[in-house]
């Protein structure tokens, strides 16, 4: 049944159960959001997130049947309710803290226990299993697929072999970053593309005149990240695939407990790690197999709090924290070029035309105004400030995503965007956006630190990223 067939019936449908009966499951899965007016007459509109799941649940807040696969939005309450991922039934039973956050319309576990210490230690000393299904995922195919990809991203996809994965960004016409993500080359003209934000509209706008098929597979494909020094040994045991010789940023095909999967040697922790791409309905089986076999490798499920600490140690940026998408920025200073957020090496000005090329070429010639750098915060300054008020030194137990000013000689010259205590490095570190003239490695700056509601400054020394870069991350073969 087509959407048009349902639209002719919409005036007579008063709740989700009636609609499901009248329109059928196929249309139910195609529609992603309804807004109910005071007469309870549904009007189909496009989803904010474009997520589709099996609908029909009753909203715990307002009592109405959930008309949106993923969301319950009613004019009377304004309620927006996330949904579970493909493995939510598994993660929810393990989440003792009941601490969740919303990620692209899905429930994401912030921390499984009451503190993320064990989960972080699993990432750095054993292995951790992280549900990264909420990533947006797209399949790009067709005769002009390669030409399309090269038109959108700043890197040269012609240099990428089949079986290889690249990290990249894409920009608007002014050379400002819209989003960053990974692209896996599945075939000569076939790609799997991941993104933090919904990108299908931007893709369609830039595919005009090309023979290319753009498919949102976000709800067909689950993704699990297996990260940590024992991750390779666990995968060798559980997966029927060539894990031993899988190189950094390459992928392979295989099976886990009979389920066909793709396994890429990628991740967001800066450590040895893999991401497993699984058909949605089969994801629980793969999760169960990994958890069962992972006991001997001290496997722990890990949430977003532990991941946040790890990605800062690895110098990895986060959208809407370390930079803003140019599509969401409200003022020019919130827009960043690749050169300003550590992605300048991913701009290939020698390739054919791509979106934003002229602006990026001009910026490359004159130099970026801002640079992304690391900050080593002087712990003795932190101790001194707390000692002055009669307290022992304290740091926030979780990574901070709140920007704080950075100074040099009393003049603000940037901001620290992500700050954390690094358990591995035993020091306080930050990612910072700094004016170019003050960003040279080894420069002593001051970062704002608040102690007992009083703002102070502590010394911080600039450092090239990453903070943490173990040899095992890229080592092959896996032993």
Give domain status of residue 358, yes or no.
Answer: no
Give domain status of residue 422, yes or no.
Answer: yes
Nearest CA to 375 among 424, 447, 316, 321?
A: 447
Would you give the DSSP letter of residue 200? H
From 272, 302, 332, the end of a domain falls on: 302
Give domain status of residue 339, yes or no.
Answer: no
Q: Which CATH number characterizes residue 248's domain?
A: 3.30.1360.120
- What confidence tens digit (pLDDT) does each residue in 85-140 have? 999 999 999 999 999 999 999 999 999 999 999 999 999 999 999 999 999 999 99
Lowest-confidence region among 48-62, 181-195, 440-454: 48-62
Give domain status of residue 258, yes or no.
Answer: yes
- C-alpha distances (whole Å) from 60 to each of 101, 104, 105, 368 are 17, 20, 17, 50
Q: Are residues 410 and 399 in the same domain?
A: yes
Lowest-confidence region among 1-5, 47-51, 207-211: 47-51
- The average pLDDT across 261-265 equals 98
Give domain status of residue 311, yes or no.
Answer: no
pLDDT bucket at 147, cuts 50 / 70 / 90:
very high
8 A C-beta contact, residue 177 and residue 170: yes
Q: Are residues 93 and 30 in the same domain?
A: no
8 A C-beta contact, residue 63 and residue 91: no
Nearest CA to 156 among 360, 352, 363, 359?
A: 352
**Cis peptide bond prior to 256, omega within 30° of 0:** no
Q: Are residues 228 and 209 in the same domain?
A: no
Beta strand extents in 206-354 (DSSP E only): 213-216, 221-227, 239-240, 251-256, 259-264, 273-279, 299-301
Lowest-confidence region among 31-40, 378-387, 415-424: 31-40
From 255, 284, 302, the end of a domain falls on: 302
Nearest CA to 435 among 419, 415, 417, 418?
A: 415
From 271, 302, 333, the end of a domain falls on: 302
Helices 283-293 & 231-238 angle (0-180, nearest 10): 120
Is the pLDDT confidence value at 48 over 90? no
Q: Are residues 94 and 240 in the same domain?
A: yes
**Residue 64, φ and ψ in degrees, nearest 5:** -80, 155
Q: Which residue has the higher pLDDT, 211 or 37?
A: 211
Would you give the DSSP letter of residue 161? P
Q: Which CATH number characterizes residue 433's domain?
A: 2.40.30.110
- The average pLDDT across 283-295 equals 98
Range of the domain at 32: 1-81
8 A C-beta contact, residue 421 and residue 375: no
Is the pLDDT confidence value at 41 over 60? no
Please state, for a pLDDT cut of 90, what percent of the chain lies above it.
Answer: 81
Q: How many H-runs (helices) and E-runs (strands) does the chain carry? A: 12, 22
Q: Are residues 237 and 288 in the same domain?
A: yes
- What confidence tens digit (pLDDT) does each residue in 353-383 have? 999 999 999 999 999 999 999 999 999 999 9
Question: What pLDDT was estimated at residue 8?
Answer: 41
Q: Which CATH number characterizes residue 208's domain?
A: 3.30.70.1400
Q: Are strands 427-435 and 370-377 parallel, antiparallel or unpaired?
A: antiparallel
Cα 312 from Cα 424, distance rounded (Å):
12
- The average pLDDT across 166-175 equals 98
Would you give the DSSP letter of residue 11? G
Nearest CA to 133 among 203, 208, 220, 28?
A: 220
Q: Are residues 291 and 426 in the same domain?
A: no
The predicted model scores a pTM of 0.85
- What confidence tens digit (pLDDT) does each residue in 218-254 have? 999 999 999 999 999 999 999 999 999 999 999 999 9
Give domain status of residue 354, yes or no.
Answer: no
Q: Which residue has the higher pLDDT, 201 or 45?
A: 201
- The average pLDDT across 275-284 equals 98
Number of domains into which the chain is organized: 4
What ranges in 130-230 are assigned the alpha helix state H? Answer: 145-152, 200-205
Residue with tokens 């893999």: 274
- What confidence tens digit (pLDDT) does each residue in 197-220 have? 999 999 999 999 999 999 999 999
Q: Are residues 96 and 226 in the same domain?
A: yes
- What confidence tens digit (pLDDT) does each residue in 8-30 have? 433 333 343 343 334 433 333 33
**Cis peptide bond prior to 120, omega within 30° of 0:** no
Tell me the residue length of the chain. 479
Would you give the DSSP letter of residue 248? T
Cα 190 from Cα 386, distance rounded (Å):
56
The partner residues of 145 in beta bridges, in order of sequence, read none
Please state, for a pLDDT cut of 70, what percent of the chain lies above it.
Answer: 83
Q: Are residues 120 and 238 in the same domain?
A: yes
pLDDT bucket at 65, cuts 50 / 70 / 90:
very low
Question: What pLDDT was estimated at residue 81?
Answer: 77
Give domain status of residue 348, yes or no.
Answer: no
Per the structure block, which two tokens stand in for 154? 């700043």
Q: Are residues 416 and 427 in the same domain?
A: yes
**Residue 84, φ and ψ in degrees, nearest 5:** -85, 155
Per the structure block, which two tokens stand in for 88? 């939510």
Is the pLDDT confidence value at 35 over 50? no
Q: Are residues 73 and 167 in the same domain?
A: no
Q: Are residues 75 and 109 in the same domain?
A: no
Cα 473 from Cα 191, distance rounded (Å):
24
8 A C-beta contact, residue 389 and residue 382: no
Is the pLDDT confidence value at 170 over 70? yes
Give domain status of residue 334, yes or no.
Answer: no
Question: What pLDDT was estimated at residue 80?
Answer: 62
Q: Are residues 122 and 148 in the same domain?
A: no
């Amino acid at each position: 049944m087509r959407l048009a067939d349902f639209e002719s019936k919409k005036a007579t449908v008063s709740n989700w159960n009636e609609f499901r009966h009248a329109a059928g499951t196929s249309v139910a899965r195609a529609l992603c959001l309804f807004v109910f007016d005071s007469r309870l007459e549904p009007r189909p509109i496009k989803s904010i997130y474009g997520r589709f799941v099996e609908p029909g649940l009753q909203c715990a807040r307002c009592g109405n049947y959930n008309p949106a696969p993923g969301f319950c939005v009613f004019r009377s309450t304004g309620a927006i309710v996330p949904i579970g991922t493909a493995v939510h039934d598994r993660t929810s039973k393990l989440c003792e803290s009941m601490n969740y956050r919303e990620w692209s319309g899905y429930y994401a576990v912030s921390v499984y226990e009451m503190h993320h210490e064990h989960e972080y230690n699993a990432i750095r000393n054993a292995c951790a299993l992280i549900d990264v299904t909420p990533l947006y995922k797209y399949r790009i195919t067709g005769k002009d697929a390669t030409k399309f990809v090269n038109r959108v991203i700043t890197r040269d996809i012609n240099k990428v072999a089949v079986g290889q994965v690249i990290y990249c960004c894409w920009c608007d016409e002014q050379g400002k970053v819209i989003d960053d993500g990974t692209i896996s080359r599945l075939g000569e003209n076939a790609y799997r593309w991941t993104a933090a934000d919904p990108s299908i509209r931007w893709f369609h706008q830039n595919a005009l005149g090309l023979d290319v098929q753009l498919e949102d597979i976000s709800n067909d494909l689950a993704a699990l990240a297996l990260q940590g020094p024992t991750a390779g040994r666990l995968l060798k045991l559980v997966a029927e695939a060539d894990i031993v010789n899988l190189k950094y940023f390459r992928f392979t095909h295989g099976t886990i407990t009979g389920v066909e999967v793709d396994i890429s040697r990628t991740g967001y922790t800066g450590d040895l790690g893999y991401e497993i791409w699984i058909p949605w309905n089969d994801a629980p089986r793969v999760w169960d197999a990994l958890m069962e076999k992972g006991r001997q490798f001290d496997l722990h499920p890990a949430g977003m709090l532990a991941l946040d600490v790890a990605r800062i140690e690895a110098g990895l940026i986060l959208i809407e924290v370390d930079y803003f998408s140019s599509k969401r920025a409200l003022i020019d200073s919130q827009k960043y070029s690749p050169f300003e957020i550590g992605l300048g090496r991913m701009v290939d000005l020698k390739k054919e035309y791509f979106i934003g090329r002229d602006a990026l070429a001009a910026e490359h010639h004159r130099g970026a105004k801002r640079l992304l750098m690391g900050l080593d915060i002087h712990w003795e300054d932190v101790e001194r400030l707390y000692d002055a008020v009669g307290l022992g030194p304290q740091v926030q137990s979780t990574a901070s995503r709140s920007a704080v000013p950075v100074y040099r000689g009393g003049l603000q010259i940037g901001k620290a965007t992500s700050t954390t205590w690094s358990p591995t490095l035993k020091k306080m570190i930050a990612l910072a956006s700094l004016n170019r003239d003050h960003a040279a490695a080894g420069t002593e700056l001051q970062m704002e630190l608040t102690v007992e509601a009083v703002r102070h400054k502590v010394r911080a020394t600039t450092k090239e990223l990453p903070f943490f870069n173990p040899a095992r991350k890229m080592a092959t073969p896996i032993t």
